[in-house]
Amino acid sequence: MSKRFQGGILGVGFNPLQAPNAPTNVTASGGNTSASVSFTAPSNVGGSAITGYTVQSNPGGIGATGSASPISVTGLTNGTAYTFQVWALNTYGPSPAGGPSGSVTPSLQRGLFAGGVNSGGSPVNTIDYIDITTTGNATNFGNLTVARYNFSGGCASSSRGVFTGGYDNVNSLNTIDYVTIATTGNATTFGQLTYGGRNSAACSSDTRGVIYPCDSSSSSVLNYITIASTGNAVVFGDLSYTANAVASTAATGRGLFAGGLSGGSNTTQIAYVTIATTGNAIAFGSLTLARRGMAAASSPTRSVFAGGYTSVSVNNMDYVTTATTGNAVSFGALSVARNSPGGVSSPTRAVFGGGSLSTTDVMDFVTIATTGNAANFGSLTVARGNLASVSSSHGGLA
């Protein structure tokens, strides 16, 4: 007669003395209605070889099986916190439970790439989207209200993406658009920056976006918006230096602005703001290489700056620990040297897409916690550079 255990059914031949030891080092990372559960196989497999593994969630008892780590658990509810246990199985039965893992909360992990300039020099209004957790080509999301480029000004909450400023080949624009990240469709007007935002940069918490309109190398004024409420931007304070083509990203309440063209020369400067508190930016440290036109992306603890332009396009990637001021450290290299790509991130992965001067549709990705060179992710729907980007999961990082 069989019996039930928490991870499944005990067979009639169950013998705990011949069953495997428990898996160890159980960890989990959240995806969109899913989680990836990793573990170390037991060194003591019991009386016969391990035939598989069973994973189960708490709450919900949602299970999955697999032959090795990691195992994907699907059918979870976004916004609900889960832990996971793992059992190893052989012909004599299941091991004791391994884990539980730390708590993870599944969420939509979507990245958007918007606007840009094509190889013919024309601005585009295309918005693409990707699922950051899985490699593959981008899919069309919709269009911006105005075709434009020269703006890395993208900020987001967990549900809304906002694109700020840009250039339409005639005018510097103070346009702010927004989209609902989970729902494909065209952008809607949000409001206006305090002045034209050619080469704008932006970072965000889940509630507030801080924007450097960046239109003039003589201006250091920062703006801010409340992401959930449409309306015009308001003055936040001053950046600690003046520059064009600055990169920006954020994590755990702190926003970083880095590099740019300052006083006719590229700069290594990094400055930071506390997003919840208006005021002037403070010096943070220096990049490993003076450059402008980088992309940036973050995990909850680390910020990565990628690509850029010195007198040529470069493939350099730097990183800093966002909560700790200090100079950047080399991370690795992009697969293609390029200027002004876009950057999106989940809590664990960064994706850098597009770029000029040789306009590309290439998307690369890195695991933010692990230094090393980028790997191919897929392709944008339109090859372009000087584009903006936002991440749904990034709203929860900052």
pLDDT band of 217, cuts 50, 70, 90:
low
pLDDT band of 279, cuts 50, 70, 90:
very high
pLDDT band of 8, cuts 50, 70, 90:
low
Phi, psi of 14 (to 5 degrees): -60, 130
* Chain Cα centroid distance, residue 118: 24
315: left (phi over 0), alpha (psi -120 to 50) or beta: alpha
How far is the C-alpha of 281 from the C-alpha of 226, rounded, in Å?
Answer: 19
- The pLDDT of residue 6 is 56
Percent of the chain scored above 70 by pLDDT? 94
pLDDT digits 0-9 by tens, 326-340: 999 999 999 999 999
Angle at 359 between CA 178 and CA 383, to 5 degrees: 55
- The pLDDT of residue 7 is 57
Find residue 194's DSSP bridge partners.
Answer: none
Non-local CB neighbours of 380 within 8 Å, separated by 6+ positions? 113, 128, 137, 138, 353, 354, 361, 362, 363
Residue located via tokens 């190398």: 217
- Sign of the alpha-carbon dihedral angle for 39, 368, 303, 286: positive
Non-local CB neighbours of 116 within 8 Å, separated by 6+ positions? 123, 124, 126, 149, 342, 354, 382, 384, 385, 386, 387, 388
Mean confidence (pLDDT) of the chain: 92
Is the pLDDT score of 3 beyond 60? no
Is the pLDDT score of 4 beyond 80? no
How far is the C-alpha of 323 from the C-alpha of 158, rounded, in Å?
Answer: 21
pLDDT band of 2, cuts 50, 70, 90:
very low
pLDDT band of 359, cuts 50, 70, 90:
confident
Domain ranges of the chain: 3-94, 110-396
Greatest mean pLDDT among 104-113, 330-339, 355-364 lies in 330-339
Cβ contact 220:235 at 8 Å: no
Q: What is the dihedral of CA 189, 224, 118, 290, to 10 degrees?
A: 180
DSSP 13-32: T--TTTSPPPPEEEEEEE-S
Is the pLDDT score of 189 beyond 90? yes
Ranking 8-12, 98-102, 146-150 by mean pLDDT, the lowest is 8-12
- The pLDDT of residue 147 is 97
How far is the C-alpha of 39 from the C-alpha of 331, rounded, in Å?
Answer: 26
- The pLDDT of residue 397 is 47
pLDDT digits 0-9 by tens, 381-392: 999 999 999 998
Is the pLDDT score of 317 beyond 70? yes
SS (H, E, C) 301-346: CEEEEECCECCCECCEEEEEECCCCCCCEEEEECCCCCECCEEEEC
Q: What is the CA radius of gyration of the chain?
A: 23
- Give the architecture-level CATH label for domain 3-94: Sandwich (2.60)
**DSSP label at residue 98:** B
Question: Could you tell me which CATH number the domain at 110-396 has?
Answer: 2.120.10.80
- The pLDDT of residue 59 is 97
More confident residue, 66 or 151: 66
- The pLDDT of residue 398 is 41
pLDDT digits 0-9 by tens, 112-130: 999 999 999 999 999 999 9
Is the pLDDT score of 346 beyond 70? yes
CA dist 387 → 67, 126, 262 (Å): 42, 10, 21
pLDDT digits 0-9 by tens, 134-173: 899 999 999 999 999 998 889 999 899 999 999 999 999 9
Length of the chain: 398
- The pLDDT of residue 30 is 83
pLDDT digits 0-9 by tens, 11-20: 546 677 889 9
Helix (H, G, I), strand (E, B) or coil at 377: strand
How far is the C-alpha of 370 from the C-alpha of 294, rounded, in Å?
Answer: 20
Greatest mean pLDDT among 10-19, 180-189, 348-357 lies in 180-189
